[in-house]
Amino acid sequence: ALAVATISAPATGAPLAAPAKATVAQVVPKPVSVTAGNGMFTLTRPARIVSDDAAVGNALAGYLRPATGYPLDVVTGAAQQGDIALRIGDPGTPGDEGYQLDVTTANAIVTAKTAHGLYNGVQTIRQLLPGWIDSPTGQVGPWQIPAVHIVDYPRYGYRGVMLDIARHFQPASAVKKLIDQVAAYKVNVLHLHVSDDQGFRIVIDGFPNLTEIGGQGSVGTGGRTMDPGGFWTQAEYRDVVAYAAAHFITVVPEVDSPGHNNAIIMSEYNDTANPLLDGNPQDINCSRNDPPVWNYTGAVGYSAMCPDSDNTWTILGTIIDQLTAMSPGPWYHLGGDEVPSTLLSHEQYAALVNRESGIVTDHGKTVMGWAEIAGEGTTPPAGSVAQYWSTSSGSGSGTVTARNAVAKGMKIVMSPANRTYLDMKYLAGSAGNVPPTLGLNWACSRGCDIDQFYNWEPEGHVTGVTDANIIGVEAPMWGETVVNLDNVDYMVFPRLLAIAEIGWSPKRGALPPAYADFQNRVAAQGVRLTLPDTNFYPTPKVPWH
């Protein structure tokens, strides 16, 4: 699957003569504070993992065993010389996710307030070891970490990636691999866009047609009218949620509404005679298409559910009931983007968002939505989150959604399309080595490589929107053009690392030196992406070595 000329991974199982030496200069996202010590810690066969948290201890052992071939027993109690220790204690860092890492010639010790903090320290340990530590097969050492004292904690609590499994169905196995990959960069939110015009992807009890009919296809690519569809059972969804949780990642489910839902409308729960157009309030279809039609192109903005229909509320209420019950995280994303005023009046839109927000709140969740939900007439419950996706910055007209949201006391997740959208082409047009079929370019007419994703600052990106309002950043992987995990990997990596770093690391000073430093640290990730077979884009903007 992979063709990266600049990186030569060993043939499976072949020992490496001289593993690359890792240093703190390789860690992504960049830690808050790093103080070099003297000498090296060497991980050897008798080492144990002494952990106050069994799950995180086992996670670390799971990371280190394949390449080292060491048993790395996970134990409790006192550490001996040569052990790695994971200690629950006070690292002196703000929040719950921070950690301290002390590496000496004798031990590597992580201290954190919570298991999540320990897990973040574990990810740093992995990156301090030689890159071959991520090999699924045995490699030769020495497995050394330079002595160092690190104090580290995140800038933002929300560091997300979104995957659209609606435009192209992706199996749970693909999502789990993505979880493995993003957890290494301290991403802690997976937003799953599970429904859109072209597909509904999770079984809802009582409404089997949502997936039987609504899940049958995906956006057509390669000259096809329609690509294969699919859907997850609730057991599969629960399994992904649990897998994410084991990687300290919170799943945010989104069923987009009231637009982007032709798959729901087509699932026969509307009146087949389409009486809405005759004024019958039982029809959920407000799309003004008579009869309603499937559209497996990537078209947007042509569907709307009718707020006047009781059926709309039965369906949305049931979806929210079941998805929130299976999602332990605090957020439910109700969508809210791109509803043309020709389909719903703004009053209808606002009334629908308000009523749906009430249902979400009644289920104990915080409302999240695309930033349009902050428009005129909406009354977002306290703490609601607006996801800002416009390409406008400063005080341009497109920034009004973010300013509305702040005015209503909402929190903001920053996802400006021209800085974070993983479905944008890396290069302008179909130039260079980017597969021409992958990606769109509406937000990135000059290309969106890693520099474009790194060289922006969330605070003040929209005039007046500060870190007092912003809870974090998210990079959305929209699914129109990506048909499988290889495609997804190619669009996500390496540029997601820029968003992961903006989300975690302290606010940067002058961007040119920060970017140069970042490029060098990303270069060290080549082997770490290659070994688990991540089909990343070997951008020429990174000096891979």
Would you tell me which residues interact with ligand TNX (CB under 6 A)?
300, 337-338, 370, 389, 421, 423, 440, 478, 480
Residue with Cβ nearer ligand TNX (442 or 543): 442
Q: How far is the CB of 480 from ligand TNX (least distance, A)?
A: 6
Q: How far is the CB of 513 from ligand TNX (least distance, A)?
A: 32
Residue with Cβ nearer ligand TNX (195 or 525): 195
Residue with Cβ nearer ligand TNX (142 or 429): 429
Q: How far is the CB of 464 from ligand TNX (least distance, A)?
A: 22
Q: Is 269 helix (H, G, I), strand (E, B) or coil?
A: helix
How far is 158 from 185, CA to CA, in rounded Å?
Answer: 13
Q: Is 172 helix (H, G, I), strand (E, B) or coil?
A: helix
Kindly name the residue from 254, 338, 372, 376 that is annotated as catalytic: 338
Name the pairing type of β-strands 99-103 and 143-152. Answer: antiparallel
DSSP 378-447: --PPTT-EEEE--S--BT-GGGHHHHHHHHTT-EEEE--HHHH-TTB-SSSTT-TTS-TTS-B-TT-TT-
Which of 410, 409, 416, 372 has its CA nearest to residue 394? 416
Which residues fall within 8 angstroms of residue 444, CB to CB, at 6 or more apart? Answer: 417, 418, 421, 424, 425, 428, 452
* CB-based burial, 515-527: b 16+ in 10 Å, e otherwise: beebbebbbbbbb
Look at the alpha carbons of 416, 422, 426, 431 in this order and tell me if their dihedral is positive or negative. Answer: negative
Residue with Cβ nearer ligand TNX (117 or 476): 476
Residue with Cβ nearer ligand TNX (169 or 478): 478
What is the four-CA torsion angle of 499, 500, 506, 507, rounded to 10 degrees? 0
Q: Side chain identity at 412, as an amino acid letter?
A: I
Residue with Cβ nearer ligand TNX (54 or 300): 300
How far is 333 from 443, CA to CA, in rounded Å?
Answer: 23
How many CA atoms does the CB half-sphere of 328 hold within 13 Å? 12
Q: How far is the CB of 265 from ligand TNX (least distance, A)?
A: 16
Q: How far is the CB of 251 from ligand TNX (least distance, A)?
A: 18
DSSP 66-94: HHH-----EE-S---TT-EEEEES--S-S
Cβ 477 vs Cβ 491: under 8 Å: yes
Report residue 251 as tokens: 């799943």
Q: How far is the CB of 517 from ligand TNX (least distance, A)?
A: 30
Query: Residue 338 catalytic?
Result: yes
Q: How far is the CB of 197 from ligand TNX (least distance, A)?
A: 9
How far is 492 from 477, CA to CA, in rounded Å?
Answer: 7
How far is 160 from 425, CA to CA, in rounded Å?
Answer: 20
Residue with Cβ nearer ligand TNX (423 or 501): 423
**CA-to-CA dists, residue 320 to 317, 325, 332, 363, 526, angstroms:** 5, 8, 8, 8, 40
Q: How far is the CB of 371 from ligand TNX (least distance, A)?
A: 8
Residue with Cβ nearer ligand TNX (406 or 482): 482
Cβ 264 vs Cβ 210: under 8 Å: yes
Active-site residues, by number, are 338
